[in-house]
Amino acid sequence: MSIVDLTAFELRERLRSGEISSRAATETYLERIRRHDKTIHAFLRVDEQHALRQADEIDARKKRGEKIGPLAGLPVAVKDILCTKGQPTTCGSRILENFVPPYDATVVTKLKMADAVLLGKTNLDEFAMGGSTENSAYGVTRNPWDVTRIPGGSSGGSAAAVAASMAPLAIGTDTGGSIRQPAALCGVTGLKPTYGRVSRFGLVAFASSLDQIGPFGRTARDVALLLEVIAGHDERDSTSVPKPVPEYSRTIGQPLSGLKLGVVKEHFAAGLDADVESAVREALRVYESLGAKLVDISMPVSKYAVATYYIIAPCEASSNLARYDGVHYGHRTDEKAMLERLKKDAAGGGEVDSPLVRLYRDSRAEGFGPEVKRRIMLGTYALSAGYYDAYYLKALKVRRLIRQDFDRAFSQCDLIAGPVTTSAAFKLGEKVDDPLAMYLVDLYTVSANLAGLAGISIPCGLSTGGLPIGLQLQARPFDEERLLRAAHMFQQATHWHTLRPKLAA
C-alpha cells in the first residue's frame, strides 16, 4: 500500500512505529503535488525545502529519543487566509499579494508545536467569499473527481488537496459552509467546529461573528486527530471559549446507543437534486440499521437563513475590509499614474477627488475582485443610515429565531442529519455570473454558522455521473465529540470515504 493510500491516522501510527520516516512521507506528498497540482491548482504556495527541513528535524529528534508531538511528521496543508510568519498570506486577493505577516496564527502555532509538517498554503475564494473557488485572484481550483467542475468553496484548495492525495490533512475555514460544502463535493470529511472552539487569532477576518477554523481529512478519525490539536482556549481571541478539549481521537470509537437523528422536512423540498436525496435517504437507512432512531422535525425559520446570512456576512465584511486602504499595507495604486488621472479629470471640468480619496478608491478598485466588491457594497448599503434597522437589525432578530429553531430541534434529537448541498459539483463557470444561484449553494449550511453550532460533512454516495455526495450532521454547541462518534459509526459501516478520484498520470 502506498503512503498516499493511508489515512492520516494510519500514517501517524506508522510514523510513530518508525515503519515510515517523516522525510519519506513528506517527499511522497511533495512529489504528488508536483505531479498533479498543475491541473488541480489546490496550492498557491508550496515550500518544499522548509517542509523537508521540518521532516528531517522530526526524524532526528525521534532517533535521539526526544518527545515528539501528536502530529509528528504528518504533512498538513493550510488555507491561505491564516497568517504564517515570514511567508505570504494573500487570502486569494491581489490586495494582499505581497503581504508577509510578522506572526503565526494560533492554529499555525499549534500545528508547529504538534510537529506537523507544513506543506504550503492552499487556494480559496478571495477573502473566503464564494462557494466554488473560482473567485481567487490566482486562478481557479479544479475538482479532482472531474477537472471540468468546481471543488466547492471557499476552502476548495484544502478540500481538493486532500481528495487528490496531495495532503493527508488540511485546514480550512467555514463562514457559511466553506468547509462542509467543498468536503461534500470532493468526497472527503470536513468539520466546522462550534464558534469559539478554535481560536481565530491570525485568521484574516471575513465575517467575525461567523468565521470558524476547522479540519479536513479522509475520515472522521483523521478529522478528530487534527481538531484535538487546533482546538482550545486562546486569550488572544476574545471569542475563544475557555472549555476543555475532549480527547476526540480516543473516544471516537465508543458506540452511540440510543442515538436520535433529526430529519428536517424543509431540507427535502423542491430544488434538491434526486441523486442527493437518494444518497442521503440511504445514509439515514444505514443509521437505522445501526440502531439509530429517526425523528421527523421542522425548522420553519430555516427558509430565511440564506437571506439573513447575506445581510449579516456582507455587513461584517464591509467593516472588516475597510482596513485595506492602500496606506498601511497591501496593494497601493501607482501614485504617479493616479496623479495623471486626476489631472485629466480636472482638465475635463468634472468633480475631482482629493489625492487621498483617489488613492483609496484606485487601490481598492485594483486590489479587490468582483465578488468582494459586491459584498462590500451590499454590506455598506445595509449598514447605511435609513437602512440599518430595515436590514441589519432585522437580520439579527431572524438570526435569533434560527437559533431557537435549533434549540427546539435538539430538544427532540441528538443530532440533525441531512444534505450538505442541493446537487453534486457543477461545471466551472456555470454559476459564476449568477450571484443569486451561487448564494443558494449555501442553502443547507449557513444556518449552523448563524446559530454558532458544529457541523460535519461525510461522504455518503456518488451521483449518477460518479461525483461525490455528502451527508451533513449538525450538533449542539461544543458537542463535537458526539458528532465525530456518529460520523465514525457511519464510516465503519460504509465504504464511501475510501473512494478516491482517478487522476491522470
Q: 486: how many CB neighbours lie within 10 A of its CB?
A: 26
Catalytic residue from among 154, 158, 249, 447: 154
d(CA 487, CA 422): 20
d(CA 141, CA 151): 7
d(CA 267, CA 405): 14
Annotated catalytic residue 110: no
- Measured N-to-C along each axis, helices 220-230 and 106-113 cross at an angle, to the nearest 10 degrees, of 110
d(CA 486, CA 483): 5
Long-range contacts of 142-146 (CB under 8 A, 24+ apart): 142/39, 142/40, 142/41, 142/428, 143/185, 143/186, 143/425, 143/467, 144/36, 144/40, 144/186, 144/501, 144/503, 145/186, 145/187, 145/425, 145/466, 145/467, 145/468, 145/501, 146/425, 146/465, 146/466, 146/467
Annotated catalytic residue 79: yes
d(CA 120, CA 424): 28
Query: If 0-12 CB within 10 Å is exposed, 13-18 middle and 19+ buried, where does residue 100 land?
Result: middle
Enumerate residues 6+ apart whose C-beta is below 8 A from 171: 76, 77, 78, 79, 82, 107, 111, 158, 213, 214, 215, 216, 226, 230
Helical segments of 126-255, H only: 156-163, 180-186, 220-230, 248-251
Catalytic residue from among 79, 110, 112, 431: 79
The C-alpha cell of 398 is what? 431572524
Output DSSP code: residue 67. -
d(CA 308, CA 287): 32
3 state DSSP class of 281? helix
Annotated catalytic residue 154: yes
Catalytic residue from among 93, 136, 178, 302: 178
Query: Residue 173 is inside which H or E element, if any?
Result: strand 169-173
- Name the residue type at position 307: A
Active-site residue set? 79, 154, 178
